[in-house]
């Protein structure tokens, strides 16, 4: 049975090797790994997305995670060339990687790519209308005349999923972030919108 906190969308290859190394260190610091992405920026950039269990993240949190994982990466050294380490928040148009993410952000527009053909296609755009034990049901934004308006996508077929920036998403994210900050006793300031959002309630 898949739990809400279990990551179901995972990396492959070198990114998976980095994730395996950094995830325990990130959890030990009280944060959660969202995603590892390696790109050709600045020669090579290793981007680590992380967040608090409540879905928020601030600059201090990013710095703490960076300090915590740098020594671990230096010891295990999975990358055989110089790279730039970047720790960031998931952002408002965040990747959805846990079952809980799909539950929390149900009803908001997202794009999703599968690892195998589901109903003769791999790319979907729409809203999550149901999260089951082993699959999500997506209501397509613009189904073709010969397509069903909803499609069920198994968790084990999801290769990548992320929210699409909309006014509704921004509004819900900022409200949730404000509530999370208030609950944690963090100061409310004008910069809250520039830092990672929390989750809608």
Q: Which of 194, 131, 198, 182 is nearest to 161 (CA)?
A: 131
Predicted pLDDT at 186: 66
The ranges assigned to domains in the chain are 13-88
Q: For residue range 136-187, what is the model confidence (pLDDT) as tens digits?
A: 999 999 988 888 899 999 999 999 999 999 999 999 988 888 887 787 776 6
Burial class (CB in 10 A: 0-12, 13-18, 19+), 194: exposed
Question: What are the backbone dihedrals phi and psi of residue 28, each rounded to the nearest 5 degrees, phi first?
Answer: -65, -30
Looking at domain 13-88, its CATH class is alpha beta
pLDDT number for residue 194: 41
Residue 193 has pLDDT above 60, yes or no: no
29-83 pLDDT per residue, tens: 999 999 999 998 888 999 999 999 988 899 999 999 999 999 999 999 899 889 9
- Residues 11-25 have pLDDT tens digits of 999 999 999 999 999
Helix (H) or strand (E) holding 59: helix 59-76
Q: Among 127, 121, 138, 130, which residue's Cα sits nearest to residue 169?
A: 127
In terms of phi and psi (left: phi > 0; alpha: psi -120 to 50; beta: otherwise), the region of 178 is alpha
The helix (run of H) or strand (run of E) holding residue 25 is helix 13-28
């Amino acid at each position: 049975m898949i739990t809400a906190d279990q990551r179901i969308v995972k990396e492959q290859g070198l990114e998976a090797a980095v994730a395996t190394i950094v995830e325990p260190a990130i959890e030990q610091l009280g944060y959660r790994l969202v995603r590892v992405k390696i790109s050709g920026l600045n020669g090579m950039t290793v981007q680590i997305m992380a967040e608090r269990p409540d879905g928020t993240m601030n600059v201090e949190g990013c710095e703490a995670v960076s300090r915590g994982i740098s020594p671990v990466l230096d010891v295990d050294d999975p990358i055989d060339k110089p790279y730039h380490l970047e720790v960031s928040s998931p952002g408002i148009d965040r990747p959805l990687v846990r079952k809980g993410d799909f539950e929390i952000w149900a009803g908001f527009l997202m794009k999703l790519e599968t690892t195998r053909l589901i109903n003769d296609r791999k790319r979907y755009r729409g809203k999550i209308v149901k999260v089951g034990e082993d699959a999500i049901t997506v209501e397509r934004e613009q189904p073709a005349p010969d397509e069903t308006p909803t499609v069920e996508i198994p968790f084990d077929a999801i290769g990548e999923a992320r929210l699409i920036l909309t006014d509704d998403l921004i509004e819900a994210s900022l409200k949730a972030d404000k509530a999370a900050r208030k609950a944690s006793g963090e100061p409310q300031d004008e910069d809250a919108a520039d830092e990672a959002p929390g989750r809608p309630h």
